[in-house]
């Protein structure tokens, strides 16, 4: 690599092209996005780009008169040029488990499942739930849904039966794909048993007609006759060709549930046209995609990152994707480095939590691996500290790879702020610069735009193609959640600082969402689950800084009867209501919570007290009971 450009790999040519795109997207957005859309295959080309409007009732509409199919864009259009190119490389967590599917083979597998789903009566516009670990069938299922115009709803394997039931009911899913069980290191996750339980919990409101069970392990599970089918057996009867449904650009491609500061998880609805344009554009631009790349995004497919950068972005661009089933350091440290070396991974996109965990291992672990196939490294989901950034760059990238920190959200569909690889010089720790067409801005608490260098609420002044269109069956909530804090703007829920030259530094959520290892957890969900424990009158969940996880979850609980309280009951309530991944780090038992006179819990105080950050607690005179603060401080100290 040339000395002149340091180790970031920024070249004048790519930097220039990128600069031109930013200018063009700002000056002529309609023409720019119609041009980007031409990179996809359409049944009917759109004649206009955005008809979006953040005022009034809020409309997010991209390429409205275009028609296309997402699975054709990920598969069929590559068949004439590269049928034998590996589309998907899968490795299981056990030694020797590996499968390579060419575009031709992936296409056939997707078509068989699409035919099966049609035969089972799944119709265009109906929801199909996908509850699978990281096996090829997860990707196949998403594309098969897209093929027949069914809306996929991918559900995290860590959700409790209760959490799954809630999402099955809300989406009205008619079919569920699950595994008999899943492997997670030494553990087995009883996927089918949990789905059975979830469907029972849905009761009368269940719309599930069939459950397709993928045999991931050799575990035998009970099958309900007439409802449950063995996936392998059922797809083997189907033809490997299946005509793709022609979809409007505005038809939903998928719903994805995410947590907010209030209420139950919301199903964000992503469009077919705008989302696909955004997935393909951002994948190519942010990761400087090359046809020879082997792209490994380590996210689970149940997260938006898995949707956009395991599946839709790289496949739309004809890339090769790596799907690995297992944990980073199981059965031994350095497992993921071996996956990179064995498969010639060029682009490795992961989370800062993974980087921090790897930093703690003996340095011989990473140094004993070649990792020379790597070209680009990326992180997402939480801030990466400059220290972790440098370690990633120096030890994993061996000083030779571009490192991209990417800021975005479930709602944004794809990357929004980053230092695009080889185009923008990164600043370790900064999310960096908005992508072409991203109208990022900062507003102060009064809704006034911050100009130049400053800090404020991170908002978008205009729509972009990847923006979620609405919340499933609740447009009023969509408008209320994202467009009322800062009128006429999309409000991200994050705060940010901007330097004079436009680089953004994300300062974190300004609402009551906690980010544990990149998992977005709504404190209201935790508190609702705890409310089912009758020993507890009230609780408050807050996030505190955590060395490994970024943030840790802490709860304060007020027992109904002093001295009568079982922490295990709180943990099991959270485990049951939300999932084991959301069980708090620490529970503090307190007499009361700090509240304003109007009864609102002052979480800012709880966050500071839990983090032992007792400087500047602020004006306590507005509290209904100011004495509670010293009691809380003492309780935290005592119960450490
Ligand atoms: O607070 C921001 C944080 O994660 C939130 C979005 O979470 P989710 O919808 O689950 O999507 C995660 C993957 C796209 C954001 O509101 N976040 C995401 N990326 C970053 C980040 N915080 C700092 N730096 C990032 N790169």
**What is the tens place of the pLDDT at every residue in 444-471?**
989 999 999 999 999 999 999 999 999 9
Q: Which residue has the tokens 């039966």?
A: 161
pLDDT > 90? residue 2: no
- Ligand 1 touching residue 300 (CB < 6 A): no
- ∠ CA(96), CA(100), CA(101), 5° rounding? 150
Helix axis angle, 191-202 relative to 161-171, nearest 10°?
Answer: 60
Residues 574, 581: Cα–Cα separation, whole Å: 9
- At residue 265, the pLDDT reads 87
Dist CA 537 CA 527 (whole Å): 11
Distance CA 609, CA 615 (A): 10
Q: Measured over all CA atoms, what is the biggest interatomic distance in the chain, rounded to whole angstroms?
A: 73
Give CA torsion, residues 472, 473, 477, 478, to 10 deg: 40
Ligand 1 contacts CB of residue 493 (under 6 A) = yes
Residue 590 has phi, psi (to 5 degrees) of -135, 165
- CB of 506 within 6 A of ligand 1: the answer is yes
Is the CB of residue 431 below 6 angstroms from any atom belonging to ligand 1?
yes
Tell whether the model's pLDDT for residue 6 goes beyond 50: no
pLDDT in the model for residue 4: 35
CA of 372 to the centre of ligand 1 (A): 29
Closest CA to 349 of 410, 291, 289: 289
347/329 Cα distance (integer angstroms): 19
- Probe target for ligand 1 pocket from 408, 430, 496, 550, with the most ligand atoms within 8 Å of CB: 408
Do 295 and 320 touch, CB atoms closer than 8 A? yes
Facing residues of 546 across strands? Answer: 550
pLDDT in tens, 127-177: 999 999 999 999 999 999 999 999 999 999 999 999 999 999 999 999 999
Among 381, 384, 420, residue to substitute to test ligand 1 (most atoms within 8 Å of Cβ):
381
Q: Is the dihedral of CA 294, 299, 302, 308 positive or negative?
A: negative
- Mean pLDDT rounded to a whole number for the chain: 95
Q: Which domains does the chain have, with CATH numbers?
A: 12-435 (3.40.50.12780), 508-639 (3.30.300.30)
The C-alpha atoms of residue 468 and residue 480 are separated, in whole angstroms, by 14
Look at the block and give the residue holding tokens 């947590």. Answer: 259
Take residue 507 and report the two structure tokens written for it.
Answer: 């300062």
Q: Which atom of ligand 1 is nearest to the CA of 410?
A: 9
CA dihedral sign of residues 278, 416, 347, 292:
positive
Interval 501-517: pLDDT, tens: 999 999 999 988 999 98
For residues 71 and 247, give the distance between their C-alpha atoms in angstroms, rounded to a whole number: 11
Query: 371-404: per-residue pLDDT in tens?
Result: 999 999 999 999 999 999 999 999 999 999 999 9
Q: Decide if pLDDT at 263 tops 80.
A: no
pLDDT in tens, 204-216: 999 999 999 999 9
Higher pLDDT, 519 or 269: 269
Task: Look at strands 536-546 and 513-516 and give their pairing.
Answer: unpaired
What sections of 172-320 are H helices per DSSP?
Answer: 191-202, 231-236, 273-286, 304-306, 313-316
Stretch (H or E) spanning 555: strand 550-559
Pairing verdict, β 519-522 and 513-516: antiparallel
- The pLDDT value recorded for residue 564 is 85
- Comparing CA positions, the residue from 434, 635, 519 lying closest to residue 163 is 519
Cβ–Cβ < 8 Å for 203, 238? no
Report the 3 state secondary structure along 163-185.
Answer: HHHHHHHHHCCCEEEEECCEEEC
pLDDT at 262: 73
Structure tokens at 107: 């296409």
Atom of ligand 1 nearest to the CA of 506: 23
Cross-strand bridge partners of residue 178: 131, 213
Q: What is the pLDDT of residues 396-434, one digit of tens each?
A: 999 999 999 999 999 999 999 999 999 999 999 999 999
* Residue-wise pLDDT tens digits, 88-127: 999 999 999 999 999 999 999 999 999 999 999 999 999 9
**Under 8 Å CB-to-CB from 133, ≥6 apart: which residues?**
157, 179, 182, 183, 184, 189, 191, 216, 325
For residue 508, the CA-to-ligand 1 centroid distance in Å is: 9
The number of angstroms, rounded, from the C-alpha of 9 to the middle of its chain's C-alpha atoms is 28
Is residue 75 predicted with pLDDT exceeding 50? Answer: yes
Residue closest to 406 by CA, chosen among 422, 423, 392, 419: 419
Residues 74/311, Cβ–Cβ less than 8 Å: yes
What string of H, E and C letters represents the secondary structure of 279-304?
HHHHHHHHCCCCCCCEEEECCCCCCH
Q: Residue 216: which of 342, 306, 131 has the closest Cα?
A: 131
Two tokens, residue 446: 């009064």
Which of 365, 47, 414 has its CA nearest to residue 253? 414
Strands of 67-214 (E only): list them: 67-68, 86-91, 98-102, 127-131, 151-154, 175-179, 182-184, 187-189, 210-214
Residue 195 CA to ligand 1 centre (angstroms)? 28
pLDDT over 50 at 5, yes or no: no
Query: Which ligand 1 atom lies nearest to the CA of residue 408?
Result: 14
Report ipTM for this prediction: 0.99
Residue percentage of the chain with pLDDT more than 90: 92
- Cis bond upstream, residue 331 (ω within 30): yes
pTM, whole model, 2 decimals? 0.95
* Tokens matching residue 119: 């035969």
Write phi, then psi, for 8 (nearest 5 degrees).
-80, -20
Ligand 1: centre distance to CA 518 (Å): 7
Check if the beta carbon of residue 431 is closer than 8 Å to that of residue 506.
Answer: yes
Signed CA dihedral, 397, 398, 401, 402: sign only:
positive
**Cα–Cα distance for residue pair 617/608, rounded to 1 Å:** 7
345 lines ligand 1 (CB under 6 A): no
406 CB under 6 A from ligand 1? yes
Tokens at residue 124, please?
């265009």
Per-residue pLDDT at 8: 66
Do 298 and 350 form a contact (C-beta atoms < 8 A)?
A: yes
Place of tokens 């038809």: 251
Q: What's the rounded Cα separation, in Å, for the pair 154 and 24? A: 36
Cα–Cα dist 556/142, whole Å:
40
């Amino acid at each position: 690599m040339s000395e002149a450009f340091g180790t970031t790999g920024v070249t004048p040519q790519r930097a220039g092209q990128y600069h031109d795109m930013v200018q063009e997207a700002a000056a002529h957005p309609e023409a720019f996005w119609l041009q980007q859309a031409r990179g996809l295959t359409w049944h009917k080309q759109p004649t206009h780009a955005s008809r979006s409007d953040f005022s009034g009732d809020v409309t997010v509409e991209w390429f409205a008169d275009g028609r296309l199919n997402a699975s054709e864009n990920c598969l069929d259009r590559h068949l004439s040029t590269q049928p034998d190119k590996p589309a998907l490389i899968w490795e299981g967590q056990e030694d020797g488990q590996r499968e390579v599917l060419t575009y031709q083979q992936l296409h056939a597998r997707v078509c068989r499942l699409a035919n099966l789903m049609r035969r089972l009566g799944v119709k265009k516009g109906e929801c199909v739930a996908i509850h699978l670990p990281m096996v090829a069938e997860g990707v196949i299922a998403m594309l098969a849904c897209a093929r027949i115009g069914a809306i996929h709803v991918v559900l995290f394997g860590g959700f409790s039966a209760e959490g799954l039931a809630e999402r099955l009911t809300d989406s009205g899913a008619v079919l569920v794909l699950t595994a008999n069980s899943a492997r997670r290191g030494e553990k087995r996750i009883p996927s089918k048993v949990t789905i059975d339980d979830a469907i029972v919990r849905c009761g009368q409101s269940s719309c599930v007609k069939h459950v397709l069970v993928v045999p991931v392990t050799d575990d035998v599970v009970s099958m309900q006759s007439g409802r449950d089918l063995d996936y392998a057996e059922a797809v083997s009867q189907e033809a490997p060709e299946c005509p793709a449904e022609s979809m409007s650009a505005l038809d939903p491609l998928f719903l994805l549930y995410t947590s907010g500061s209030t209420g139950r998880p919301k199903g964000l609805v992503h469009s077919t046209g705008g989302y696909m344009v955004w997935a393909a554009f951002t994948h190519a631009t942010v990761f400087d995609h090359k046809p020879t790349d082997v792209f490994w995004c380590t996210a689970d497919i149940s997260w938006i990152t898995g949707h956009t950068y395991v599946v839709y972005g790289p496949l739309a661009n004809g890339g090769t994707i790596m799907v690995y089933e297992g944990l980073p350091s199981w059965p031994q440290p350095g497992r993921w480095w071996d996956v990179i070396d064995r498969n010639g991974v060029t682009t490795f996109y992961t989370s800062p939590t993974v980087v921090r965990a790897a930093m703690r291992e003996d340095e011989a672990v990473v140094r004993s691996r070649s990792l020379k196939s790597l070209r680009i490294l990326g992180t997402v989901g939480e801030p990466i500290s400059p220290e972790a950034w440098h370690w990633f760059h120096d030890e994993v990238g061996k000083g030779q790879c571009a490192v991209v920190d990417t800021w975005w959200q479930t709602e944004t569909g794809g990357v929004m702020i980053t230092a695009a690889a080889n185009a923008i010089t990164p600043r370790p720790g900064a999310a960096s610069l908005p992508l072409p067409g991203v109208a990022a801005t900062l507003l102060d608490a009064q809704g006034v735009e911050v100009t130049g260098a400053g800090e404020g609420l991170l908002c978008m002044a205009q729509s972009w193609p990847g923006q979620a269109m609405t919340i499933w069956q609740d447009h009023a909530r969509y408008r209320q959640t994202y467009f009322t804090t800062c009128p006429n703007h999309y409000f991200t829920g994050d705060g940010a600082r901007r330097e004079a030259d436009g680089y953004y530094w994300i300062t974190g959520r300004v609402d009551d969402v906690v980010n544990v290892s990149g998992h977005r957890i709504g404190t209201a969900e935790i508190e609702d689950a705890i409310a089912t424990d009758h020993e507890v009158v009230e609780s408050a969940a807050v996030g505190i800084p955590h060395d490994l996880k970024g943030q840790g979850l802490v709860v304060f609980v007020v027992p109904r009867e002093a001295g009568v309280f079982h922490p295990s009951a709180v943990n099991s309530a959270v485990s049951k209501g939300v999932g084991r991944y959301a069980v708090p780090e620490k529970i503090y038992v307190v007499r009361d919570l700090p509240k304003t006179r109007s009864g609102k819990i002052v979480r800012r105080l709880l966050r500071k007290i839990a983090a032992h950050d007792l400087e500047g607690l602020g004006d306590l005179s507005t509290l209904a009971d100011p004495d509670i603060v010293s009691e809380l401080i003492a309780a935290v100290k005592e119960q450490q």
